[in-house]
Amino acid sequence: MSKHPRCVSSAIEDHDVEVPALPVTSRRDTLQLLGVAGIGALIGCQTDGTGAAAGSAGMMSGRAGAGASADIGAKISSTTAGSPSAPLPSDAKIGAGGSAGTRAGTGGRGGNAAVGGSAAGSSAGAPSSAEGMSGTGGAAGTASSSPRTAGGGAAADGSDAGSPSTAVECPSEDTPAVPEGPYYYDSMMNRSDITDGKDGVPITYRFTLLDAECRPIQGAVVDIWQADKDGVYSAYAQQGTAGEVFLRGFQYTGAQGEAAFNAIYPGWYSGRLTHLHGKVFIEDVQQDTTNFFFPADVEDAVYASPLYAARGRNRATVAGDIELRGDMQRFDALTMTVTGDVASGYVASFVLRYS
């Protein structure tokens, strides 16, 4: 496995959390030192069938109380205006509820017990004594059974905090690999819009990275590249695109393990199913190279539309794909969930898991 060149020197700039320069011996100690702002940046999904994540802390007040989640059965407390919130039971698998409201408010209610846990999360944040507007903490996600789901935390005022409004299904196995192919080029372009003025049916890709315990992986690199509507890749002389860079880019995953890109629906070329390429780097190390595929009904609709109709539909099959070579199980595991239509564009979602 190799180091990703941009990861070694880059830092995530999405959070402005100041960590005290004190010795810590565990994740629990780290969370206690980070306090409200730090825990707000570390919210995520739980394990063993839970969908609970604490709501993010009210960042506008350093004194608002917040209930924290316990993903490893540890007792965690956050500091309020002068008193800590009640700790979680040591055997709880699920985090307590939403954080205090912006500038003040009441902590969210405790979450339900996880499968395999014996107690519900308790006392999600003591009421804050901070001055200012009053708010009610967001409720914790509730436990769920198979398939496991990862819930997004609600913001202090009950609004979406940037996490999915609905839970995502946790894959039962790690994301399978597909060879890189001949047209990878490290564009070194950290961006969400990779369209570069190319014509095509709009599509938004939404990726969520989870670990084996269904917890979001923050700070990973998702690097994607694809062909244009005519099946042509950028940056390669044999494609007639030397010196051009389009439909390539990378994003860092956020606190909920998410990365999103705006692009166009890719065209096809001989020998391959229609696909999107992706590489994933975790802690500076390449974790995976793979492809993502599209449902047949979506592909048929796109290739019948005016911008794509001249080339017709892609006649490649799983059996004839030069990379999959008939591996239907891998194709199914790598097919994205796609919603939308040709007129308004599509949203393609995929959850990746890495142990």
Which residues are CB-neighbours of 92 under 8 A, at least 6 positions away?
A: 70, 73, 113, 114, 117, 118, 119, 120, 121, 122
Name the stretches of the chain with pLDDT < 70: 1-166
Q: Give the pair of three-digit tokens for residue 350.
A: 């995929």
Residue 41 CA to residue 195 CA, distance in Å, equals 30
Q: What local confidence, expressed as pLDDT, does residue 168 receive? A: 84
Closest CA to 217 of 40, 45, 2: 45
Residue 51 CA to residue 142 CA, distance in Å, equals 6
- Check: CB of residue 346 under 8 Å from CB of residue 204: yes
Residue 189 CA to residue 191 CA, distance in Å, equals 6
For the purposes of burial, counting CB atoms within 10 Å of the CB of 87, is it exposed (0-12), middle (13-18) or buried (19 or more)? middle
Residue 118 CA to residue 90 CA, distance in Å, equals 10
Residue 87 CA to residue 98 CA, distance in Å, equals 14
Alpha helices in 194-320 (DSSP H): 296-303
What is the DSSP-derived secondary structure letter of residue 33?
H
Tell me, letter by letter, the H, E, C secondary structure of 182-198: CCCCCCCCECCECCCCC
- Check: CB of residue 32 under 8 Å from CB of residue 213: no
Q: What local confidence, expressed as pLDDT, does residue 98 receive? A: 37
Handedness of CA 293, 295, 296, 299 (dihedral sign): negative
Q: Tell if the pTM clears 0.75, that is, is over it.
A: no
Q: What local confidence, expressed as pLDDT, does residue 2 receive? A: 52
What is the dihedral angle through the alpha carbons of 335, 341, 343, 345, rounded to the nearest 10 degrees?
A: -40
Which residues are CB-neighbours of 331 under 8 A, at least 6 positions away?
A: 273, 293, 318, 321, 324
- Check: CB of residue 214 under 8 Å from CB of residue 51: no
Residue 220 CA to residue 251 CA, distance in Å, equals 8
320 alpha carbon, distance to own chain's centre: 32
Residue 336 CA to residue 208 CA, distance in Å, equals 12
Which domains does the chain show, CATH number per domain? 13-169 (no CATH), 202-354 (2.60.130.10)
